[in-house]
Structures are given as structure tokens and as C-alpha cells.
Amino acid sequence: MKLWKGRFQKEADPKTNDFNSSISIDSRMAQEDIVGSIAHASMLGECGIIGKEESEKICDGLRKIAEDLEKGTLAIDPDAEDIHTFVEGELTARIGSAGKRLHTARSRNDQVALDIRLTLRENGKAIRGQLAELIGVLCEKAEQYSATVMPGYTHLQRAQPITFGHHLMAYCEMLLRDLSRLEDALRRMDVMPLGSGALAGTTYPLDRELTARLLGFSQVSQNSLDGVADRDFCAELAFFSSMTMVHLSRFCEELVLWCSWEYKFVELDDAFSTGSSIMPQKKNPDIAELIRGKSGRVFGDLMGLLAMMKGLPLAYNKDMQEDKEAVFDAIDTLRLCLTPLIPMVKTMTVLEENMRAAAAKGFINATDCADYLVAEKGMPFRDAYKATGELVALCIQKGLTLETLPLEEYRRVCDNFDEGVYEAISLEKCVKDRKVLGGPAPENVVSQVRRVRELLAKMERGTEK
């Protein structure tokens, strides 16, 4: 039965009823809806807006509904219009007339604005934990492979020598920014909207601060229209999720490349790989590909949210019911992707020799060869660059590397070269000397790992408070 039956002469058309209903999406907010209602009813009781006894009866009834839902002894009615209607109806069926007082000084518009926040707050905390865990695993690997030489790429062409630890720490930096974006979004979402009513607040003397305290919010919303019409927090979390998925998709793309025979820099554990139904030799990085692929739907969720909100007049419009499906899909997909990614990275085998062998090909120490002429022989960089370019061409012609090219050949191109060049272009020295702040030297990787671990520990202390 509809809440608004008094005003209407007909039942809703059944198909239209389904179309209008949001129960299939918002039933996941059942516990949050109940928690919000308990706080609201307690506040109503405290303020003398409803009787103390009624308030207690309502809260008890709601707690029992929460328990029954948890135990599975109460099923959510799929024909209910939304979770708010279902909970209120169930309460009234159980406790009688007191239940009818729950919705005093409240609208589903401020109620839903609260429920989404409560749901996202819990999910946000879970994602924070997962991201911190992934960063921790990357730090472990980076520490272990802080001195492992690999080619760094630009244009996917071997460019300059770096360390595998440094490469992994680049992802830690991205993920730390993602974490801070999440913290930001959660902080801005930390606003309690109940009391906004349908749009114009209420004439009842509510203690909104009390409701906020009961629900663990640090602030109350300051404008009733904005309180019910704001969905910035959904878009912000969808953007945070999208940006994080961009980063995960880049990492996963690299894992896919690194698993190929063309690279063979890493081997994924069998538990996180798949085979082929026809090709017996195959071991595929499906998980990494799927994460790469799922990033697309998260961007879609963000676009959908922005397009849904664009141009909406104040205050609540039914369009906004579409918010939950999008933002929940964004965060669910992110959580889903992080779940296998963390153990997959933890268990992957790093094939250091293959990285080293790839680094030895492709003349990635050519810049260091030119730098040697500049530092040791005082040549202008542009001249040193040109001489080294000629040497590379010569090596290609002769099928040699800069390491194996005889000194006479070096000297034929530029007589400034002497024996010292071989030490200058040794890959180990090339990475060891790149110890400028932010560079890939093994000692830098170790201190980067320390710094990131300290940051994580500080964040953890901050969120415990």
C-alpha cells in the first residue's frame, strides 16, 4: 500500500510501480536506514517532539528489524517502493501506532541523503584499508628489488636504466594521492543532512547537532535545499574511484606486458592466472586484464552521475534516484578489483635476470656515455650527445653494444674517450649514481619505502582517532 494513498483514487499501474521503485538498489542501505532512523527517533524523544516511551518503542522495534534482516528471518519486500518505505511499514506493522510517529519532521529526501552518506562512509573505510594494504605490498616488493636494474621506457622504447623498486614506488605515489583524494571526499561528506526535510527544513524544534553526534558526523548541513539536493559527494567518490582505476589499469597493463614472452619480467602465481581451453601452453593474466577492462565501467559511472545532475533545478528531483546505482557500482568495482590484485602482486615472481638482460640491450646507457664526456672531459652536452649517437649507430651496424665496442672504435669517433668510459656506462653505476632526490638509485628506493611506510602509519593513527 502506498504512503500517499489518501491523495489518490487508484493503485499504481504495476509496471510503472516497478519502474518507479528503487528497492532493488537501495535495499543494501537497510542497516544504514535503520541506524539513521534510530538516531532520528532518539532525538525526537530527547526534544519532546514525540513521547519518550514512543521513542524507545520505535528504537527497540527498529533494532529488532535490523537483527531479523541480519539473521535472514525477515526478507525485504521486493514490491516496496524503496527501503525507507519498507522499514517504516514493517515497523508500524510490528509496533502499531508509535511507528507512525517515526517520520515526524523528516522526509525521504533528507533520509536518503543521510543513508547514502552512511553507506559510502563504511565503504570508504574499507577501500582505505585495501589501498593501504596494496601500497604496503608494493613497498615490500620495492624494498626486495631496490637494486634490480631494469630498462625504464618512454614511448615503450627502452630509454634509461632504472630499478624495479623505483618503478613500483611510482605506483605507490599515485596510490597515495588516491588515498588523499578519498580522505578529502570523506571529509567533505561528513555532514549530517537530516532536518532539511523535503526541502524547506521543518517547524519542529529539532536538535540536529544531537542527531549528528549520535551518527558520528562532525557537522550538520547548513542549507535545507542543499541538504537534499547535494550529490557532490557521490560524484567525488566516483571520481576518486575512476582515478584509482586509471592507476590500477596502468599497473595491470604493465603486468600483462611483463608476463608476455616478449618481456618475461614477472611470472604470476598459478592461483592468479588462467589457462586456455585450446592452447595447452597458455598461462594468461586474465585478472590484470579484467581490472584494466573494468576501469571503463567506473568512468561510465562518473559520467552518468555528472550527466544525471547537470541542469537539475533545486531541490530534490527523482532523477537523483539514479545516483546510488552509479556510485555503488563505482566503489564496488574498485573494491572487487583490489581484492585479487593485492595477493596477485604479493605472490608474483620477479625475474631479475630477464630485466637485467633487457636493460643490457637497447643502449639505455647512451645518455650516461654522453654525460661521461661532459663530466670527465668537459665537452659541451650537445657535442657529447652527437658523438654518442654516432657510436650507437656504429654498434648497431656491427651488432655490438656500448659495453662490447672496443676503445679504438670509441676513439675513432671522439678522441676524448679513454678506458674510464666502460665504468661510466656500467648499468649498476648508472642507477647507483642517479641518486638525485626522486631518482631510481637503490639507496633512494630504500628511503622512499621508509617515507611511504611512515606516511601510512601516520594516516592509520589519524583514522583511528
Residue type for position 372: Y
Residue 401 binds ligand ARG (CB under 6 A): no
Residue with cell 489518501: 6
Shortest Cβ 316–ligand ARG spacing (Å) = 6
| ∠ Cα 10 12 17 (to 5°) | 175
Ramachandran angles phi, psi of 205, nearest 5°: -80, 75
- Which residue's CB is nearer to ligand ARG, number 36 or number 285? 36
Active-site annotation, residues: 155, 276
Per-residue binding string, ligand ARG, 101-140, x by CB under 6 A, is -------xx--x----------------------------
Within positions 313 to 372, which residues make up the interface with ligand ARG, using CB under 6 A?
A: 316, 318, 320-321
The candidate with the shortest Cα–Cα distance to 239, out of 302, 300, 180, 176, is 302
Per-residue binding string, ligand ARG, 291-320, x by CB under 6 A, is -------------------------x-x-x
Q: What is the maximum alpha-carbon separation in the chain?
A: 101
Burial class (CB in 10 A: 0-12, 13-18, 19+), 173: middle
- Which residue's CB is nearer to ligand ARG, number 80 or number 391? 80
Q: How many CB atoms lie within 10 A of CB 453?
A: 16
Shortest Cβ 329–ligand ARG spacing (Å) = 15
Which stretch of DSSP H or E encloses residue 161?
A: strand 157-163
Shortest Cβ 230–ligand ARG spacing (Å) = 13
Residue 42 binds ligand ARG (CB under 6 A): no
β-pairing, 191-192 vs 219-220, is parallel
Ramachandran angles phi, psi of 149, nearest 5°: -80, 135
Shortest Cβ 70–ligand ARG spacing (Å) = 22
DSSP per-residue string spanning 86-130: HHHHHHHHHHGGGGGGTTTT--HHHHHHHHHHHHHHHHHHHHHHH
Shortest Cβ 110–ligand ARG spacing (Å) = 9
The residue within the footprint of ligand ARG, chosen from 82, 90, 230, 371 (CB under 6 A), is 82
Shortest Cβ 200–ligand ARG spacing (Å) = 13
Residue 22 binds ligand ARG (CB under 6 A): yes
Q: How many CB atoms lie within 10 A of CB 420?
A: 11
- Which residue's CB is nearer to ligand ARG, number 35 or number 268? 35
- # residues contacting ligand ARG (CB under 6 A): 10
The residues that touch ligand ARG, with contacts defined as CB under 6 A, are 22, 26, 82, 108-109, 112, 316, 318, 320-321
